[in-house]
Structure 1
């Protein structure tokens, strides 16, 4: 089984960290390696350009891939989004020089503009939909510098924080599309020889996402306080309660969001809970 992941760019490190958190660890390789064996039997990582991953997966050269949904749309690849990931969030925006007296898309209508972009297909569809007259300047590198060089008037490019745009004297005036990283597969993955292993891997991947930001809480509670403590606790279904031997006391266990832990501890302590233990959770398989 092959999993294609970015070999450079903003998605490379979070994609590798996610793969490792799932339990797949690269066994060898350096920045020049294209195919890396892993701790999973007969599973290797294919290190390729982020924008090439949709086409590689569509062709079946890799069973799964991690890439941005902006690249999927740009490639027009016939692939399926299997797991939405919690990183790689970004927006593709139309940005114009800050010096322009332009604040909205309507202010551009009627103008002939040159737009530099590496998202040629996305930009073409967007301009047609919005009724904007523009000549696209297809590039493969940094778009932000193109207006400064005089190669274009404005750009359509990815924006995470907007800092890079501001440094180059640009301001976003419209969002072309929202994007995020995903695990993708081709439409025939369920019929292939690796379908069972892929399905298991997808289950573990989803469990890894579900486990992020959650904590396991254990506590001991005397019988007289049990009802009050349980009423103070969140749970995915219901708290787990086990009687402690020889005493009118109980062990209570539940799962909670990390951000809620301070409030939960305050409530259960005031309700009589003791010996509270909080543990990290790696995965939650539903």
Structure 2
């Protein structure tokens, strides 16, 4: 369902409807700044019925969802990211690892992914309280981008059992930009062209700009759920945006993918994770 279909057990594919793939760096988006703002405002109006009954532009945070004590305890035990800039690289985990056995969160959010989103929420609350980033918005992004690393197929450290990659951006897939290599294959394993990497689907160039260490190991690895969740939060919050305001939240999500259908899907899943009620089919337009 949606725009993600597996190319292989560890590959994310996108529908040809999408004009922008992954997180396209500034300058590659084929829209003007003015049209992006207008699109964000239109998006806010069109999706508001999906994410709030209140017609006020300010979106109050819903009551906290009951959280299984086990993964919450794990999340609280995570080290805070070190003050030094992290090393940006991807690590090849050992074979034979097993998916984390943490209990699932609301609507089946895998426990290890839930933990990563909560850690990112707390870190961002301390580092950038103006943003007001809630865990459930990050979960909405994670759901649409990779179904939380293919249903939580990640070990207790947050590393996927198999690396998560998007399609090669060489022009062979209709609707996707052609993006030539920007990292020498260091993050995406390719030399000629780029592809999105990790459970939150970052392009290598964008990852290098926003890369964050979500689990305190001194490394910012796009494949790691904790690093990816915190980096996604930093990307959405950039520029002083406030996630409590629906229009600003919409504008932030449009950075991820310049599609109003994408915004509607992310907001619908985010709201559902917050209140525990599954989204209706009409809330999830085809991307």
TM-score, length basis structure 2: 0.22
Structure (1 or 2) with the greater strand fraction: 1
Higher helix share: 2
Q: TM-score, normalised by structure 1?
A: 0.22
